Amino acid sequence: MRAAAFEQPGPPDVLRLLELPEPQAGPGEVRVRVRTAGVQPFDARLRSGWEPPYAPVKLPQIPGNEFAGVVDQGTAELPAGTEVLGFSVFNAYAEYIVVPADQVTPKPANVPWEVAGGFAAGWQTARLALSALGVGPGDTVLINAAAGSTGTAGVQLARLLGATVIGTASEANQDYVRSLGAVPVVYGDGLPDRIRALAPGGIDAAVDGAGGAALETSLELVKDRKKILTLVAHARIEELGLASIQGRRSAAALADLIGLYAAGRTIWHVRRVHPLAEAADAHREIETGHGRGKIVLEI
């Protein structure tokens, strides 16, 4: 099969199209003929040499932790021909992926492939983050990097939970953040004062998707540090006494989340679709840290 993989970690150029053996499904697993796969900052960190403590890297390594496609080796519940979306740790930048059957869920017919392939990570991360913070009706929540993929999901889920959301973004993304249901605010110098003016009653919880000055702003504005969760400054979580994500991604949760989209209750913006051969370009773009919505590979 064709796959975008790296034989040694390094800059984006180490991602190349390789011919690798097709994986085969075992008991309790499904093999999916991948149509689209999402591109994550997680994937770029992996390619650059970081290794997650819960999953060893095996070179050549195929990145990619979310995908959509058609089951071609299935189970009784998910027979061949079933259109699905799902999640993994690695291996989605390829023509075929094998995962446990409880890591995929059927794709609603009205969900485009480019949406389905880049859906699982951002929405499940946002859901778990808001759950860890106990966000509920009447809360005022700060979401840093609100125009990114996890921010886009987080704004909408927090609004569905009954919270008021203030979302930081660049000047160019203010209207986009507003369209998601948040009160937009431009990041940069003076951010804490701008947020105080928008939320005189204070900020109850914060999700940090940017780190640096954005995290410092959250620390300044949120009294209870267990109501702050960072998605990027992992090394500072214990030092600062911040909240951390509890629980795991699940097919049941993913089914609920994609159901909201299919029912028209949420939106999902795909910024760009790259062919598999341009995986390195997709990584260059994701590593800028700018831009709204999702980057997806078409296999």
DSSP 225: G
The number of C-alpha atoms within 13 Å of 131 and in the hemisphere containing its C-beta is 12
Q: What is the pLDDT of residue 292?
A: 87
Residue with tokens 């259109």: 83
Angle at 153 between CA 93 and CA 160, to 5 degrees: 145
Q: What is the pLDDT of residue 150?
A: 95
Helix (H, G, I), strand (E, B) or coil at 208: strand
- Separation between Cα atoms, residue 299 and residue 291, nearest integer Å: 23
Q: What is the pLDDT of residue 61?
A: 98
Q: What is the pLDDT of residue 246?
A: 86
Q: What is the pLDDT of residue 266?
A: 98
Give the predicted TM-score (pTM) of the model: 0.94
- Separation between Cα atoms, residue 160 and residue 165, nearest integer Å: 11
Residue 186 corresponds to which amino acid?
V
Q: What is the pLDDT of residue 126?
A: 97
Q: 123 vs 19, 151, 176, CA distance in Å? A: 31, 9, 18
Total Cβ atoms within 10 A of residue 235: 8
Helix (H, G, I), strand (E, B) or coil at 119: coil
Residue 294 corresponds to which amino acid?
K
**pLDDT tens digits for range 2-46:** 999 999 999 999 999 999 999 999 999 999 999 999 999 999 999
Cβ within 8 Å of residue 230, ≥6 positions away: 208, 211, 215, 218, 236, 237, 242
- Separation between Cα atoms, residue 39 and residue 131, nearest integer Å: 24
Given a contact cutoff of 8 angstroms between Cβ atoms, the answer to whether 40 and 65 are in contact is yes
Low-confidence ranges of the chain (pLDDT < 70): none
Q: What is the pLDDT of residue 39?
A: 97
Q: What is the pLDDT of residue 247?
A: 87
CA nearest to 195, candidates 237, 141, 136: 141
Q: What is the pLDDT of residue 196?
A: 97
Given a contact cutoff of 8 angstroms between Cβ atoms, the answer to whether 271 and 292 are in contact is yes
Given a contact cutoff of 8 angstroms between Cβ atoms, the answer to whether 204 and 141 are in contact is yes
- Separation between Cα atoms, residue 254 and residue 286, nearest integer Å: 23
Q: Where are the alpha helices (DSSP H) in 149-190?
A: 149-160, 174-180
Q: 246 vs 131, 229, 249, CA distance in Å? A: 8, 11, 10
Domains of the chain with bracketed CATH: 2-119+268-298 (3.90.180.10), 123-240 (3.40.50.720)
Q: What is the pLDDT of residue 215?
A: 95
Given a contact cutoff of 8 angstroms between Cβ atoms, the answer to whether 289 and 211 are in contact is no
